[in-house]
Amino acid sequence: MIVPAEVVEYDPRWPVWFAEIRARLTPYLTELPHQIEHVGSTAVPGLAAKPIIDVDVVVPTAELVPAAIAALTAAGYQHEGDLGVPGREAFALPPNTVRYHHLYLVVEGNKAHQDHTVLRDHLRTDPADREPYAARKRELAHLLTTDRAAYVDGKSALVEELILRAAQPS
C-alpha cells in the first residue's frame, strides 16, 4: 500500500474510514477492556491533513499492554515497538489493509495518550489554532515525499505549543 504523501483539505469520509478500521479491530480485542479512539488531524473536522487515519487502542493499565499487543498481532498487525515515543506502541499494517492508517497502543491517561487527545480536542474547539496548524502542515508538505522525519520535526514545536496552550486554563 502506498503511504499518502500530501496534505489535503478535510474529507468528511475520514470518520467513516475510522469506523471501518475500528470495526475490523474490535473482534480481536473483545477479551480486553479497551477503547478505540480516532486521534490526529483526520479526527478534527475542518482541519487539512494527510489522509492517514490515526488510531489509538487505549487500555486502562500497563499490565494489559502485552495482551493487547498479542491481540493486534493476531489481527495481522506487526508490532514495531515505541518508535522513540515512550508509552506508545506502534504497529505496521497487515498486508490486506484497505485504508492506510497509523495504529498505536497506549495506556489510558499516559503522556502519549494525553498528547493525542489534548491536541485533537483543542483543535476541534479552537479554530484560531486550527488554521495556523494547517498552514504549517501545508508549508511542510513538500517534505512528505523526501523526508517524512523533517516534516514531523517541522511541526513538533507548534504541536508542543498547542498542547501546552490547551492544558492551560482559559
Specify if 1 maps to a domain.
no
Structural domains of the chain, count: 1
- Indicate which CATH number applies to the domain containing 161: 3.30.460.10
Per-residue pLDDT tens listing for the chain (170 residues): 678 889 999 999 999 999 999 999 999 999 999 999 999 999 999 999 999 999 999 999 999 999 999 999 999 999 999 999 999 999 999 998 989 999 999 999 999 999 999 999 999 999 999 999 999 999 999 999 999 899 999 999 999 999 998 988 76
What is the pLDDT, as a whole number, of residue 96? 84
Domain that holds residue 155: 14-167
Specify if 155 maps to a domain.
yes
Specify if 132 maps to a domain.
yes
Specify if 135 maps to a domain.
yes
Specify if 3 maps to a domain.
no
What is the pLDDT, as a whole number, of residue 170? 61
Which has the closest alpha carbon to 7: 142, 156, 122, 147? 142
d(CA 158, CA 143): 17
Specify if 9 maps to a domain.
no
Specify if 4 maps to a domain.
no
Specify if 8 maps to a domain.
no
